[in-house]
């Protein structure tokens, strides 16, 4: 059986994983990083990143991730392509199996597998990815200044996204499947008091249209009812705010997670309930989901891994 031992195993790339690899390498931990299903993480699907420090003119998501990857390799991180398919965290050293059958025994593990935005499942969401479709208003809202956008969802996240976009965009539509908002009362009140937000209750999205990007959305009002009505709205951007799914299922048998699946860490540290196992980035962050906060948590995870190894003479 093909098995090796590592002091530090990093599962998942993106800002958290690559930053953890940079810090772990500089600490002489000789980390091994497996990039996972989407090397570079969610940012590789983002065209322009303008809010990551150090890039005053902005940079594309793939370029930013390539830079971080090169920096990690410069300090000696070993980076492999592969997906973790099985984990045994019942005892240390911990054992992880990858899709090629290779097994890695590790004294410390940094889990940076991210979270996947939930989509409606429309073909047009893929067609217009990076051309008007986004799952992060904070990331992409700036590009829609004085334009018209739509936000899908009726919970707190959708309201927060709509309010943020309302401060930038000319007008914001909220596309809500039910005839009410699920958000907290205070968030509902803020949305209703925003002069440039229109809530479209009992509307479902059928598709998007546009030549070189999103120009509008096909909706259906009161789907399946006798008074069902097809409605088109003109928009420049289409934002999904129906939640994220943290990629934690492989580890949830051993790690404490919240009701959604986000890995629970202790206080402001990346430490989990298992000694030597740390979580960084979106897999443990239901609140911010930003590249810079993910990178910061990757830094903290590597520092904590170094301290754990030193304290235990590993």
Residue 74 sits in a domain whose CATH number is 3.50.50.60
- Summarize the confidence of residues 80-84 as an average pLDDT: 94
Residue with tokens 């088109």: 232
Say how many Å lie between the first and final Cα of the chain, rounded: 24
Helix (H, G, I), strand (E, B), or coil: what is residue 64? helix
90 and 195 within one domain: no
By C-alpha distance, which of 41, 81, 65 is closest to 281? 41
Residues in Cβ contact with 157 at an 8 Å cutoff, skipping those fewer than 6 apart: 241, 242, 243
Q: What's the confidence (pLDDT) of residue 48?
A: 75
Domain containing 38: what range? 3-116+244-311
Mean pLDDT (whole number) for 286-311: 95
Q: Which of 240, 265, 294 finishes a domain?
A: 240
Domain boundary among 221, 240, 259: 240
- 281 and 141, same structural domain? no
Pair 227, 265 in one domain: no
Q: How far apart are CA 232 and CA 220, in angstroms?
A: 8
The answer for residues whose C-beta is within 8 angstroms of residue 298's C-beta and 6 or more apart is 15, 16, 17, 18, 19, 20, 21, 23, 110, 112, 280, 281
Residue 239 has pLDDT above 80, yes or no: yes
Last-in-domain residue among 220, 240, 260? 240
How many structural domains does the chain have?
A: 2
Strands (DSSP E) contained in the chain are 3-11, 32-34, 78-80, 84-88, 94-98, 103-111, 115-117, 133-134, 148-152, 171-176, 197-201, 203-209, 216-221, 229-234, 237-240, 244-246, 277-279
Give the span between the Cα atoms of 247 and 282, in whole angstroms. Answer: 9
Whether 45 has a pLDDT exceeding 70, the answer reads: no
* Cα separation, 94 vs 89, whole angstroms: 5
The pLDDT tens digits for 96-117 are: 999 989 999 999 999 999 998 8
Q: Does 231 lie in the same domain as 253?
A: no
Q: Do 191 and 266 share a domain, yes or no?
A: no
Calculate the average pLDDT of the chain: 94
Same domain, 250 and 226: no
Same domain, 231 and 147: yes
For residue 43, what are the contacts with CB-CB under 8 A and spacing of at least 6?
14, 15, 49, 61, 62, 64, 65, 291
| Confidence at residue 51, expressed as pLDDT on a 0 to 100 scale | 86
Task: Check if the beta carbon of residue 181 is closer than 8 Å to that of residue 199.
Answer: yes
Instruction: Give yes or no: residues 144 and 201 share one domain.
Output: yes
Question: Are residues 111 and 11 part of one domain?
Answer: yes
140 and 232 assigned to the same domain: yes
The whole-number pLDDT of residue 139 equals 83
| Residue 143 pLDDT > 90 | yes
Burial class of residue 226 (count of CB atoms within 10 Å of its CB; 0-12, 13-18, 19+): exposed
Token duo for residue 291: 């590249």
Count CB neighbours of 223 within 10 A.
14
Who contacts 293 (Cβ-Cβ below 8 Å, separation ≥6)?
A: 285
- What is the CB-side half-sphere exposure of residue 203 using CA atoms within 13 A? 22
Catalytic residues: 136, 139-140
Place of tokens 């097994």: 103
Give the separation between CA 254 and CA 111, rounded to whole angstroms.
13
Q: Is 311 exposed, middle or buried (0-12, 13-18, 19+ CB in 10 A)?
A: exposed
Q: What is the mean pLDDT of residues 240-265?
A: 95
Residue 98: predicted pLDDT: 96
Q: How confident is the model at residue 244 (pLDDT cuts 50, 70, 90)?
A: confident
Residues 181 and 285 grouped into a single domain: no
| Edge-first strand listing for the sheet containing 203-209 | 203-209, 216-221, 229-234
State how far the Cα of 114 lies from the Cα of 34, in Å rounded to an integer. 13
Same domain as 162, residue 21: no
For the entire predicted model, the pTM comes to: 0.80
């Amino acid at each position: 059986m093909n098995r090796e031992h590592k002091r530090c195993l990093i599962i998942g790339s993106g800002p958290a994983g690559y930053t953890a690899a940079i810090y772990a390498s500089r600490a002489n931990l000789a980390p091994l990083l497996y990039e996972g299903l989407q090397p570079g993480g969610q940012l590789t699907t983002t065209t322009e990143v303008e809010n990551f420090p150090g890039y005053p003119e902005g940079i594309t998501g793939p370029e930013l991730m390539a830079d971080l990857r090169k920096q990690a390799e410069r300090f000696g991180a070993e980076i492999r392509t592969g997906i973790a398919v099985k984990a045994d965290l019942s005892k240390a050293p911990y054992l992880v199996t990858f899709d090629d059958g290779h097994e890695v025994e590790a004294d410390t593990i940094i889990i940076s597998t991210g979270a996947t935005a939930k989509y409606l499942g429309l073909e047009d969401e893929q067609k217009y990815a990076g051309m008007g479709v986004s799952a992060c208003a904070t990331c992409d809202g700036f590009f829609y200044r004085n334009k018209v956008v739509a936000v899908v969802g009726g919970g707190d996240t959708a309201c927060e996204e709509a309010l943020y976009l309302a401060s930038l965009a000319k007008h914001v539509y909220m596309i809500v499947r039910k005839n009410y908002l699920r958000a907290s009362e205070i968030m509902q009140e803020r949305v209703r008091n925003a002069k440039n937000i229109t809530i479209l209750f009992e509307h479902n999205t059928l598709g998007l249209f546009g030549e070189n990007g999103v120009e509008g959305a096909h909706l259906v009002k009161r789907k399946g009812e006798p008074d069902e009505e097809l409605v088109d709205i003109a928009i420049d951007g289409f934002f999904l705010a129906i939640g994220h799914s943290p990629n934690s299922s492989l580890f949830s048998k051993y790690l404490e997670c919240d009701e959604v699946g986000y890995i629970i860490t202790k206080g402001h540290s990346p430490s989990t309930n298992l000694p030597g196992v740390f979580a960084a980035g979106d897999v443990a962050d239901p609140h911010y989901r930003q590249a810079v906060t993910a990178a910061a948590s990757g830094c903290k995870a590597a520092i904590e891994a170094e301290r754990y190894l030193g304290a235990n003479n590993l």
